[in-house]
Structure 1
Amino acid sequence: MTRHARSERLLLCDELDRLGPDRPTLCEGWQTRDLAAHLLVRENRPDLSVGRFVPFLGGHLDREQRRIANGDYAAVVDRVRRGAPAWNPMSNAKVDEITNLIEFFVHHEDVRRAQAGWAPRELAPQLEGKLWSALRRSARLMFRKAPTGIVLIADGRGRYAAKLPDAHGTVVLRAPVGELVLYAYGRKGVARVGFEGDADDIAALQGAELGIS
């Protein structure tokens, strides 16, 4: 089995090593050191990760993540590169592929596209196929706050109706699958996506908050 999540993890870690700890990312308020710390916490510190969902524990998560971010950057990136520890189900190759492919693809682009002179990557067909499957599994969650209906058309992959019309009509998003993933996960400013639909509906969608938050 080709491990696309593993490949994206390694590419991201190579980029983090190349750039160093103080470069910008697309994650608001985070430099490369903060993104690396987030990824380490996500897989290695479930006691802290619960703070993402339990408000009164959020302060503890933030403090510990900052402490990790201000520590040995190379060591943090190395721990991320090694993957989840054996006790974490994400250490299993199949679980890793399901839970981490989009996570590491999006964060890889968060780093790449925050730097001057970036250009979209040409993705391998196998990777595109896996991303399209993953996006269809998550699209209804990602677009749940959209005020419009949503139809996704991925170049060479087909179409998927992600949401029925709400306060507005339907907007069609057409792009390579990687760009659709980035748009769905809130990276609107850098996702190169084409829109089809009423101008007011498109404007409403562009103004909406998308993603997990």
Structure 2
Amino acid sequence: MRFPLEDELRAERFRLIGTLQGLSDEEFDDGPTLCAGWSPRDVLGHLIGTDYLLGSYLPYGARIHAANQAQADRARRIPRDRLMEWAAHWAANPSLTSRLGVAVMLGDLGVHHQDVLRGLGREREVPDAVANAILREGMQLSLWLNRRVLRHRLVPTDGGRPVGRGPRVRGTREALGLWLAGRDSVAGELVFED
């Protein structure tokens, strides 16, 4: 059985792998991302971990950041070629939990793919389904991180309906989602209105 957005999840995973394959060893291991303290390798370790190592969250309880860091640390101990083989399997074979939660997983993946690209000063055309997922993910994370989603009216300039109340913030779905998710470096791409 195929779930809605499941094919897009696989496609975005393979797009991320393509991005990572194009990095030098130095960029892969030590390049900057929008995730403070994480390289592209660490981001990949986290993303794979959410699929296959979901049980690794249990010992950490509500300390999600600690669990995410443990997954990134694990990926640091795996040679790049082996990690990329694992990533190819991960991309082609999402776990049942990822398939059931595909809307959330696609958003997390889209945000982190942009973390890698933007951290390295690169751009790409963000597919529509991924842009929508990034905005959804940003809105969800904002409730927990910074509550921006509750204090602003978000006006996507590249499709979609305005959401929320308060001062308007205009921008692409991708930039709005990243800003809501705490990536303040994208604020210059947004238009803030009173």
Name the TM-score, length of structure 1 as normaliser.
0.69
Pair member with larger Rg = 1
- Cα displacement string for residues 4-54 of structure 1 (whole angstroms, at most 9, x for unaligned residues): 222221111111222133222111111122112112221111232235544
Q: In the alignment, what sits opposite 2:38?
A: 30
1:36 partner SS: helix
Is the alpha carbon distance of 1:12 and 1:51 closer, same or farther for their aligned partners in structure 2, counting shifts above 3 Å?
A: farther
Q: 1:151 aligns with which of 124, 132, 153?
A: 153
The match for 1:173 among 169, 174, 185 is 169
* 1:104 matched residue in structure 2: 109
CA distance in 2, matches of 1:145, 1:136: 10
More helix by share: 2
Paired residue for 1:45? 53
User: C-alpha separation between the residues in 1 aligned to 2:145 and 2:95?
Assistant: 33
Preserved CA contact (<8 Å) 2:170 2:192: yes
C-alpha root-mean-square deviation of aligned residues, in Å? 3.3
Identical pairs, percent: 22
1:128–1:177 Cα contact (<8 Å) kept: yes
d(CA) in 2 for partners of 1:135, 1:45: 21
Unaligned runs of 5+ in 1: 165-169, 198-213
* Whole-Å separation in 2 of the counterparts to 1:48 and 1:74: 23
- Structure 1 residues 104-113 or 77-86, which shifts more? 77-86
Instruction: Give the deviation of 1:174 after TM superposition.
Output: 0.4
CA contact (8 A) 1:135 1:181 kept: yes
Deviation at 1:112, TM superposition (A): 0.5
Specify the alignment match of 1:79 in structure 2: 86
Structure 2 residues not aligned, in runs of 5+:
none
Q: Aligned AA for 2:16? A: L
Q: After the TM superposition, which of the residue ranges 20-29 and 173-182 deviates more from structure 2?
A: 20-29
